[in-house]
Amino acid sequence: MNQFKLLTLIILTCLSISPSQAHADNALVAVASNFTLTMKKLVTQFHEETPHTLRVSFASSGKFYAQIKNGAPFDLFLSADQLIPTKLLSEGYAVPNTQATYAIGKLALWSSDPNKVDPMGNILKSKTFNKLALANPKLAPYGFAAIETLEKLNLMESTKPLWIQGENIGQTYQFVRTGNADIGFVALSQIQNHQELSTGSMWEVPNDLYSPIKQDLIVLKHGENNAAVQAFLNYLALPKTQKLIQSYGYHTEFN
C-alpha cells in the first residue's frame, strides 16, 4: 500500500463518519493557487463520479491561513506547503492525524514568448528581459523557492531591480501571460498539461536549486464529519487520480 493510501485510511478512521452520514454532502475547500488547473479538473471528475459537491476557493496559502484563523468555514485545506497545515493543527484549527502530502510541486522559469527562455535558464544572466515575476516569498512557497534558486545561482543582486512580485503564484503567472513581465518563476503545473508545455518557453528548474515543495492537505475542524471531505480524500488516493496529478507537473508518492 502506498503512503498516500495509508494516510488516507488513517484520516478516514479519525473522521469516524458513520454509514448514516454517508449521504450526499457539500464541502468548502481552500486550495493553493498553484493547484488551480489540477483541482478544477479533479472537481469536475469528482462531481461526475460521486453525489457530493465541492465549492472551491483559490488563493495563496498565507491568505487562507489568515482567513481560517478569522473563522472562515472551510472544511478542507490543500496548502502549497507543509508549514501552514502544521501551524493550523498546533493552533487547534484542524483535525489531528489528517495531514498528508498530496503533491510535490516543481518550479519553472517561463515566458509566454516561445523563443524567450532557453532550456538552461541562461536568460537570467542576460539583460534581455524587462521584468522577472515571482510570487511573494513571505506568502507563497513557490516564491520562496524562486529566491532559493536565485541565491544558489548568485543572481539575487543582478536581478532584484527587475523583480515584480505577485501576491500568489496565480497572479505571478498572470504577470507573465499578459506580458507585464517577460519571464517569471511559476509552478510547472500552471504551464504543463499531460506532460506537455501548453504555450511559450520554459526552463524546468533543477530540484537541487530549491527545497522540495511538499504540499500538504489537512482536514479542518469545520469539516471533521463531512461526508464530501471523506469521499474526496478517498478519491485523491485512487491510482487514476494520482496519475492525473502527475500529468499536471507534480510528483506524488503514488507508485
- Confidence class for position 48, pLDDT limits 50, 70, 90: very high
∠ CA 100-98-75, rounded to 5°: 105
Whether 218 and 99 share a structural domain: yes
Q: How far apart are CA 124 and CA 186, in angstroms?
A: 14
Q: How far apart are CA 17 and CA 224, in angstroms?
A: 9
Domain count, the chain: 2
Whether 226 and 177 share a structural domain: no
Q: What is the pLDDT of residue 17?
A: 46
Q: What is the pLDDT of residue 21?
A: 47
Whether 111 and 237 share a structural domain: no
Question: What is the model's pTM?
Answer: 0.79
Q: pLDDT tens, 160-173?
A: 999 999 988 889 99
Q: pLDDT tens, 64-76?
A: 999 999 999 999 9
Q: What is the pLDDT of residue 255?
A: 39
Under a CB-based contact definition with an 8 Å cutoff, are residues 172 and 185 in contact?
A: yes
Whether 240 and 178 share a structural domain: no
In the listed set 204, 225, 240, which residue is the last one of a domain according to the structure? 204
Q: What is the pLDDT of residue 22?
A: 54
- Selected residue with higher pLDDT from 139 and 28: 28
State the cell numbers at 232. Answer: 474526496
- Inter-CA distances, 203 with 63, 123, 197, Å: 28, 10, 11
Q: How far apart are CA 124 and CA 122, in angstroms?
A: 5
For 1, counting Cβ atoms within 10 Å of its Cβ (0-12 exposed, 13-18 middle, 19+ buried), the class is exposed
Q: How far apart are CA 7 and CA 32, in angstroms?
A: 20
Residue 126 gets which letter from DSSP? S
Q: What is the pLDDT of residue 5?
A: 52
For 11, counting Cβ atoms within 10 Å of its Cβ (0-12 exposed, 13-18 middle, 19+ buried), the class is buried
Instruction: Kindly state the average pLDDT of the residues 46-55.
Output: 97
- Confidence class for position 179, pLDDT limits 50, 70, 90: very high
Q: pLDDT tens, 108-143?
A: 999 999 999 999 999 999 979 999 999 999 878 899
Q: What is the pLDDT of residue 19?
A: 42
| 93 found inside a domain | yes
**Containing domain of residue 87, as a range?**
3-104+214-251
Whether 71 and 113 share a structural domain: no
Q: What is the mean pLDDT of the chain?
A: 90
Q: pLDDT tens, 187-234?
A: 998 898 766 788 999 999 999 999 999 999 999 999 999 999 999 999
